[in-house]
Amino acid sequence: MKQLCSLLFVLLFIITACTTETDLAASSNIENQKKEAVEQQKKMPKVMPTDFDFTVRFGYGEITKNEINTYQDTVTKDLIMNGDITAKITFTIEEMRSIYKNMREINIMGTKELVPTNKNCSSIPYNEDSWKISVDGETKTFTWSDKNCDVTSDAKQLLELRTFIQHIVAGKDSYKELPKAKGGYE
């Protein structure tokens, strides 16, 4: 009888342990599915929506006078010692689609890690970008900088994106006609 009770106890333990592991695996699977669903919701539509617009302000530290703004179709250039100047610049539909495609590739509306883990270093001057992006009825804002000497891979992607957009702006006649900056930042 003792052997039978011992055997039943061992079987009951095994069944309970298997059920717990299965429940943990199922729970973990549900968590992963929830995370994937949230990320899917933040994915940008394949086709550029009609309400797609963005603003990026950038510069050195708190001096972020440069701005590319598709909400108002303007570009502001920091002339350093001579203040700043704003010009009316409109992107073509092809340029906007190209910018949108680049934003979609990095899932700019998704979660971004923009704060580096190493904060033991400080750089002056430092780059800082502030973004505002509207896509499909949703607007997202965020800022990144290289003040702590290091940038995350997400911040590097945003810098590459801004550089890509700046290259398009630099080719516009109305931008080429703006005065050159005088002076510099230390």
- CB–CB of 160/127 below 8 Å? no
Work out the burial of residue 51: count CB atoms within 10 Å of its CB; fewer than 13 is exposed, 13-18 middle, 19 or more buried: exposed
Q: Is residue 181 part of a domain?
A: no
34 shares a domain with 80 = no
Q: In what order do the strands lie in the sheet with 53-60?
A: 84-88, 74-78, 63-69, 53-60, 127-135, 138-145
- CB–CB of 99/163 below 8 Å? no
d(CA 77, CA 150): 26
Using DSSP's 3-state secondary structure scheme, residue 74 falls into strand
Report the domain count for the chain.
2
Per-residue model confidence (pLDDT) at position 137:
95
d(CA 140, CA 65): 20
Q: Is residue 47 part of a domain?
A: no
Give me the chain's average pLDDT, please. 83
Per-residue model confidence (pLDDT) at position 47:
96
Q: For 8-13, what is the mean pLDDT? A: 55
d(CA 75, CA 56): 10
Q: Determine how many CB atoms are found less than 10 A away from the CB of residue 5.
A: 9
Per-residue model confidence (pLDDT) at position 38:
46
d(CA 172, CA 67): 15
78 shares a domain with 30 = no
* Residue-wise DSSP of 114-145: -S-S--S---SS-EEEEEEEEETTEEEEEEEE
Range of the domain at 120: 53-176
CATH of the domain at 143: 3.30.1560.10
Q: What would the pLDDT profile of 30-88 be if each residue is shown by its tens digit? A: 665 555 544 444 689 999 999 999 999 998 766 678 999 999 999 999 998 888 999 99
Q: Is residue 115 part of a domain?
A: yes
